[in-house]
């Protein structure tokens, strides 16, 4: 059953199947539509209705990061939120993060483009570079603050 896109009195939405939850997004925004579609698809996986793929409940993952820039991460696959505390102490919450994006970030699937204390240009894997590549450069919605519990 695919992700359905539509519009009602509340606005544009993505939904998994005919009776799933509506994930509203700003109409005419390709990025917002993509994020809403990923949330709807994650809902389909969560209910175990995604073809031969069987969903394994991750729920919430917490860990320190092997990074000179990132201190700790918490990922919740129900809300699709990734909370990151950087070594500077700043905490940010990223919304609409699919499991694939989370996996790329936590595994540092990117190479450094700069050098500094503890990293060199081309260093791979790099959690900090992956944060930039998969979260910042891809226009994932984020806000300052969040809970690491």
pLDDT at 78: 80
Whether residue 117 lies inside any domain: the answer is yes
Whether residue 11 lies inside any domain: the answer is yes
Same domain flag for 86 and 124: yes
Rounded CA separation 114/121 (Å)? 5
Give the number of domains in the chain: 2
Same domain flag for 32 and 100: no
Instruction: Give mean pLDDT, residues 75-80.
Output: 84
Same domain flag for 78 and 132: yes
Rounded CA separation 42/81 (Å)? 12
Whether residue 66 lies inside any domain: the answer is yes
pLDDT above 70 covers a percentage of the chain that reads 72
Residue 109 has pLDDT above 70, yes or no: yes
Residue 48 has pLDDT above 80, yes or no: no
Tokens found for residue 1 = 């059953």
Rounded CA separation 148/138 (Å)? 23
Mean pLDDT, the chain, integer: 77
Same domain flag for 37 and 73: no
Residue of higher predicted confidence among 57 and 127? 127
Instruction: Give mean pLDDT, residues 12-24.
Output: 82
Same domain flag for 67 and 14: no
Whether residue 119 lies inside any domain: the answer is yes
Residue of higher predicted confidence among 133 and 3? 133
Same domain flag for 40 and 108: no
Confidence band of 90 (pLDDT split at 50, 70, 90): very high
Tally Cβ neighbours within 10 Å of residue 62: 12
pLDDT at 128: 81
Domain of residue 27, residue span: 3-46
Instruction: Give mean pLDDT, residues 95-111.
Output: 82
Same domain flag for 41 and 70: no
Same domain flag for 102 and 125: yes
Residue 60 has pLDDT above 70, yes or no: no
pLDDT at 72: 87
């Amino acid at each position: 059953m695919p992700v359905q896109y539509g519009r009602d009195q509340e606005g544009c939405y993505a939904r998994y199947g005919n009776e799933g939850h509506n994930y509203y997004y700003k109409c005419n925004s390709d990025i917002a539509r993509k994020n809403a579609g990923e949330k709807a698809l994650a809902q389909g996986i969560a209910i175990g209705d995604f073809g031969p793929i069987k969903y394994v409940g991750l729920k919430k993952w917490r860990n320190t990061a092997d990074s000179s820039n990132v201190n700790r991460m918490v990922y919740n696959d129900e809300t699709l939120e990734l909370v990151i505390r950087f070594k500077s102490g700043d905490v940010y919450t990223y919304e609409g993060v699919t499991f694939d994006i989370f996996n790329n970030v936590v595994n540092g699937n990117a190479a450094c483009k700069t050098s500094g204390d503890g990293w060199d240009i081309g260093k791979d894997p790099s959690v900090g570079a992956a944060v930039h590549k998969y979260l910042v450069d891809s226009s994932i919605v984020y806000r300052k603050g969040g809970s690491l519990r």
